[in-house]
Amino acid sequence: MRFEYLHPRNQLITIMQRIYGYGMTTTSGGNLSILDTNGDLWITPAGIDKGALVPNDIVCVKPDGTVVGPHRPSSEYPFHRAIYDQRPDFRAIVHAHPAALVAFSIVRKIPETRIIPQAHYVCGTVGYAPYALPGSDLLGERIAETFAQGYDAVLLENHGVVAGGVDLLAAFQRFETLDFCARTLIQARTVGEVRLLTDEEIKRSHKRGKKLPKFVPEPPSSRERELRMKIVDVVHRAYDQRLMTSTEGTVSARVDEASFLITPVGVDRKYLAEEDIVLIREGRRERRKEPSRAVRLHQTIYREHPEIGAVITAQCPSATAFSVTGQKLDTRSIPESYLVLRDIPLVPYGEQFGEGESLSARLGEQTPVVLLQNDAVLTTGRDLPQAFDRLEVAEFSAHALINTEPIGELVPIGDEALAELKAKFLL
């Protein structure tokens, strides 16, 4: 879907559906706006169910203040207008009250974005606006003054968060990524001390070597077409389960000995389509497409592990909580976790960049899953279903471990029981 070609009404409805559908706002909470090129400000209405908005509900406020539409504009219209006045580079604003970010706002702490490289790249450093009455001119002034300092996302004291962007999709992605950071940090702090990335480490994540040369592919085979469909299905499922964010998560699958398919860079995971997937053949990329920045790592894995048919990397909040603290993700919790995942080592930050030879060397039959420090969980499998199952089980297992913190000490499966498992399932 080419989101940028939707009418502002439809863009606002589409993004509000995503925010409401993922529980990041309530029936009465949150508001979105778009500043059109002609000066019209399109904004969600006041007092209308956010879970049931239709395009006709959207309000247009003309440059002279005339309101066009069946409803009043959001009560927070003043701060939307104030932000646009201070930030002419913004064309869209997202405001809502996701629980994790509200938690930060009511303890008056700013969520760190330096937990994984992409989060800091998308969000930058987050600003903080002191409390003022909702809907008041004072609140608008305080938020706009904070944005004027160069922040692209601002936490509102005892309120929620506001994110801006060059378009509505960019503003939403910033908002969603910041929510991911907040959820991950809350879980991480229950299991250990959070390790933050340095500026140099963040820069390293974008130094992935030269781009692969291009080639003109032949018409796709039936197998390639099928794999494209399966990759899209896996990405959509992972996104809907919040195992990925709109800007982060890579899936690839082997086509044959000389080629594999991989997800592209810069395409919203929610809207990924078969034609977006990039074919890599003999070290070259399908022309007019840009593969994931992890393409060289995946290429190395397929070259060195002929038994691997699929690779997934994703930023699942619970598993990522272990990657940013360095705590052991103990798979000896229930039989399924150990059988599916085996032991999960933590790979030092940086091994996933470039060709990834050292990371690839860690993988094998007894190590199908690894945690990438301050980055992601990486799973492999003989095919996509197995790699995706391992991703789900890794997040499930991490979440279960975190849930033990307030109720008691983890008692892992004992050595004798583990030996029985290995014997029965020929591990």
Residue 394 tokens, joined: 């890794």
**C-alpha–C-alpha distance, residues 266 and 239, integer Å:** 15
User: DSSP of 117-129, one letter per residue?
Assistant: HHHHHHH-S-EEE
At 417, is the pLDDT very low, low, confident or very high (cuts 50, 70, 90)? confident
> What is the average pLDDT across 325-345?
95
Residue 385 φ/ψ, nearest 5 degrees: -55, -40
How do residues 121-176 score in pLDDT, each as one tens digit? 999 999 999 999 998 999 999 999 999 999 999 999 999 999 999 999 999 999 99
**C-alpha–C-alpha distance, residues 74 and 113, integer Å:** 29
Q: What percentage of the chain has pLDDT greater than the value 90?
A: 91
How do residues 55-95 score in pLDDT, each as one tens digit? 999 999 999 999 999 999 999 999 999 999 999 999 999 99
How do residues 272-309 score in pLDDT, each as one tens digit? 999 999 999 999 999 999 999 999 999 999 999 999 99
> What is the average pLDDT across 360-370?
96
At 255, is the pLDDT very low, low, confident or very high (cuts 50, 70, 90)? very high
**C-alpha–C-alpha distance, residues 189 and 381, integer Å:** 31
Beta pairing class for 376-381 and 369-372: antiparallel
pLDDT at 396 over 80: yes
Indicate the SS3 state at residue 26: coil
pLDDT at 411 over 80: yes
**C-alpha–C-alpha distance, residues 301 and 298, integer Å:** 5
Q: Bridge-partner residues for 142, per DSSP? A: none
Predicted pLDDT of residue 147: 97
Predicted pLDDT of residue 214: 95
Predicted pLDDT of residue 178: 97
**C-alpha–C-alpha distance, residues 54 and 51, integer Å:** 9
**C-alpha–C-alpha distance, residues 381 and 293, integer Å:** 21
How many residues in the chain?
A: 427
Instruction: For residue 380, give Cα distances in angstroms to 50, 89, 116, 228, 297.
Output: 39, 41, 21, 17, 13
Same topology between domain 3-188 and domain 210-424: yes
pLDDT at 208 over 80: no
Predicted pLDDT of residue 419: 87
**C-alpha–C-alpha distance, residues 295 and 273, integer Å:** 18
Predicted pLDDT of residue 354: 87
Closest by Cα among 11, 162, 159, 4 to 82:
162
How do residues 366-389 score in pLDDT, each as one tens digit? 999 999 999 999 999 999 999 999
**CATH architecture of the domain with residue range 210-424:** 3-Layer(aba) Sandwich (3.40)
Please compute Rg for the chain using Cα positions.
23
**C-alpha–C-alpha distance, residues 266 and 344, integer Å:** 29
Closest by Cα among 99, 148, 93, 153 to 123:
153
Q: What angle do CA 325, 328, 331 make, to 5 degrees?
A: 140
Neighbours of 67 (CB within 10 A): 14
User: Is CATH 3.40.225.10 the right assignment for the domain spanning 3-188?
Assistant: yes
pLDDT at 271 over 90: yes
pLDDT at 1 over 80: no
Cβ proximity of 335 and 422 under 8 Å: no
Predicted pLDDT of residue 421: 87
**C-alpha–C-alpha distance, residues 172 and 266, integer Å:** 14
**C-alpha–C-alpha distance, residues 152 and 141, integer Å:** 16
**C-alpha–C-alpha distance, residues 295 and 214, integer Å:** 14
Alpha helices in 152-221 (DSSP H): 168-188, 199-204
- Listed by start position, the domains of the chain span 3-188, 210-424
Predicted pLDDT of residue 379: 98
